[in-house]
Amino acid sequence: MKVLITLIASFGLQAATALPQPHNSTFHNPILPGWHSDPSCIFVSEWNNTFFCTTSSFSAFPGCPVYASADLTHWDLASSALNRPAQLPQIQTATTSQTLGMFASTLRYHDGTFYLLTAWLYKPNNGTQFVLFTTKNPYDDSSWTDALHVENPKGRIDPDLFWDDDGSVVMAFSGAPIEAAYIDLTTGKAGEPFDMWNGTGFNNQEGPHLYKKDDYYYLLIAEGGTALEHSTTIARSRSLKGPWESSPHNPLVTARYTDRYFQTVGHSDLFSDANGNWWGVALATRGGPKLYNETIHPMDRETVLYPVSWPKGGWPVADPVEGTMRGPLPVTPSGEKRSPPTFMGEKDVVDFQPGTSIPKQWLFWRAPAKPESFTISPPSHPNTLRLTASKANITGDASFKALDGLTLITRIQTHTFFEFSVDVHPGFGKIAGDEVGVSVFVHQDHHIDLGILVEEDSADSSRNMVFRCRATDSSIALSQLPSPVVTPVPAAWSKSPIRLFINGINTTHYELSAASASKSHEREHLALLPASLVGGQLLFTGALLGAYATTNGGNHSMEGYVSRWRYTPEAQEIGYGDYVWNR
């Protein structure tokens, strides 16, 4: 067995110091576990030899996360480029779609400024804008600028940023062929698009990134769609306008037509470290082709790392992505410390103490329409999170509008095996339909819920509370969904907090259970539901774990209170029967 070891390192704007020379060492994928698709990464020596990555966020908020690492294997959430509705006010009202939002950003650093260029999709057809955020401090949410709208000449996705030697800025974007245009980063104006490269014969040419090395322009793209035929390919030219020569080693990375555990490998970015070693990141999905075809991959597309050999004047070459790999990982100087410790993949221990804030790695589904619906430690209920119920449940209905809001707060599921638990305080409602619970949430059309529900109107809600376990999966008929499981809450539990549990017990199922918080070891098993209900091709987003409150359509106010939020990682499966255990 392999054990994850928490390393501590520091970040900050300091003069770059000489680093110890690396030697090949072992690392495990994914490096950004859980839903982290479409990665774009850079190395910035001026920021203490730090690596920075961003991934797609779609409708989750805060959006466009920026992660930081000293060693490529342990990552902090440094900031979120989209962290306040005022940056792009339309995000609160533009769409109720589940698969739109912020797509496939590019992160770059130039002359002391960080640039994050992304595609904002707000309509199912012909509703795409390019927006640019910038900052001079990637650790400060408030320093990210409001969105600059950059012209999208062809209504495409996946914009890239590249500075040529003469200072001009080129934006490549998806298409058959990949196209590009010169842009003005002050005004957002784009010039006339020009054709680049059409790839190697597969469809869905997207995710372009440009580099210049050894007097060649290199164009990296994704091909084959984001499913089992996904790949990363590369071409080069002496001129941005071609002709382009395809690498004889294409595809650079892929898993198509294999039975590897990491599938859908593609949509890459390349960068070099302080020692001149090249690295690639890509998205990938765990479980092998069998689980993929059975739609059993609730964590969806994750970020993986692979070493790249790129000789002078030659082509980049990479080994297939695996759960365990070796490469010349950076060695951080001894004695460095990192603060604050918001490590990706670590446990949550949150008790909602007075004066604290919602952890910055937690996510809402869309920017909250009513931020006051999430209040930490109100005077009447210290050490709780007050959830002011939304009228809509977390599925919504045909009349649901984005501004109606959802009272749902989540974190990313980052492990194959885990335990998530929250204490719910009884007495929260007196009208039938009032509900507080926990959820495995991919989006409003795909989620698994364990709620405490007021079943009938009563002056004393503790007398008519039930546990309700149910699943929502819009891709299958209602008759094929597991029937809701309704179980009375034991009378002895009704006067003290009730602990709700979600456990990832294997790659295929979630277990739902409950206990009195005072006797949490005496659990009542409630349901075992298949992960296929929240995993599947083209959902785009991955599993989130969180708490919700709703009146289920009732036109009245209701406040629920939760406390003792815990996420305990247990293990990652990184290959068939190959595990990395947390200790």
**Using 50, 70 and 90 to split pLDDT, how confident is the model at 341?**
very low
Cα–Cα dist 32/346, whole Å: 11
Cα–Cα dist 297/515, whole Å: 28
**Using 50, 70 and 90 to split pLDDT, how confident is the model at 67?**
very high
> CA separation (Å) from 75 to 10, 65, 86?
11, 12, 28
38 assigned to active site: yes
pLDDT at residue 303 tops 90: yes
Going through 356-429 in order, the beta strands assigned E by DSSP cover 364-365, 374-376, 385-388, 408-412, 417-424
> For residue 129, what pLDDT is reported?
95
pLDDT at residue 551 tops 60: yes
| pLDDT tens per residue across span 28-44 | 999 999 999 999 999 99
Q: Could you tell me the two tokens for 292?
A: 């993929």
**Using 50, 70 and 90 to split pLDDT, how confident is the model at 531?**
very high
**Using 50, 70 and 90 to split pLDDT, how confident is the model at 21?**
low
pTM: 0.94
Mapped to the 3 state alphabet, what secondary structure does 220-255 carry? EEEECCCCCCCEEEEEEECCCCCCCEECCCCCCEEC
192 assigned to active site: no
Q: DSSP readout, 113-134?
A: EEEEEEEEEEETTTEEEEEEEE
Cα–Cα dist 223/200, whole Å: 8
Region at 352 (left for phi over 0; alpha for psi -120 to 50; beta for the rest) = left
Chain position carrying tokens 């966020």: 57
> For residue 504, what pLDDT is reported?
98
> CA separation (Å) from 569 to 34, 323, 497?
12, 18, 23
> For residue 535, what pLDDT is reported?
87
Task: Specify the DSSP class assigned to residue 293.
Answer: H
Pick the CATH number of 29-327 from 3.90.1170.20, 2.115.10.20, 1.10.150.240, 3.90.340.10: 2.115.10.20
pLDDT at residue 540 tops 70: yes
Q: DSSP readout, 254-312?
A: E-TTS--SEEEEEEEEEEE-TTS-EEEEEEEEESHHHHHHTT--TT-EEEEEEEEE--T
Assign 541 to helix, strand or coil.
Answer: coil
pLDDT at residue 338 tops 70: no
Q: Could you tell me the two tokens for 234?
A: 């590369």
| Amino acid residing at 6 | T
Domain ranges of the chain: 29-327, 348-581
Residue 92 in contact with residue 360, Cβ under 8 Å? Answer: no
Cα–Cα dist 254/381, whole Å: 52
pLDDT at residue 343 tops 90: no
**Using 50, 70 and 90 to split pLDDT, how confident is the model at 461?**
low
Mean pLDDT of the chain: 92
> For residue 541, what pLDDT is reported?
92
> For residue 460, what pLDDT is reported?
63
> For residue 230, what pLDDT is reported?
98
Of residues 38, 158, 160, 423, which has the active-site annotation? Answer: 38
> For residue 336, what pLDDT is reported?
56
Which position has the higher pLDDT, 53 or 583?
A: 53
Q: What is the average pLDDT across 426-443?
A: 95
Fold classification of 348-581 (topology level) = Jelly Rolls (2.60.120)
Mean pLDDT is lowest, of 49-53, 107-111, 136-140, 335-339, for 335-339
| pLDDT tens per residue across span 215-232 | 999 999 999 999 999 999
| pLDDT tens per residue across span 374-383 | 999 999 999 9
Cα–Cα dist 57/541, whole Å: 8
**Upper half-sphere CA count for residue 166 (Cβ side, 13 Å):** 3
Of residues 160, 179, 206, 434, which has the active-site annotation? Answer: 206
pLDDT at residue 82 tops 80: yes
> For residue 575, what pLDDT is reported?
98
> CA separation (Å) from 539 to 254, 475, 496?
21, 10, 38
Beta-carbon count within 10 A of 336 CB: 15
Q: What is the average pLDDT across 152-169?
A: 97
Q: What percent of the chain has pLDDT over 90?
A: 83
pLDDT at residue 387 tops 70: yes
> For residue 124, what pLDDT is reported?
72
Handedness of CA 25, 27, 32, 36 (dihedral sign): positive
Cα–Cα dist 128/16, whole Å: 39
> CA separation (Å) from 439 to 62, 368, 393, 533, 546?
19, 18, 12, 12, 5
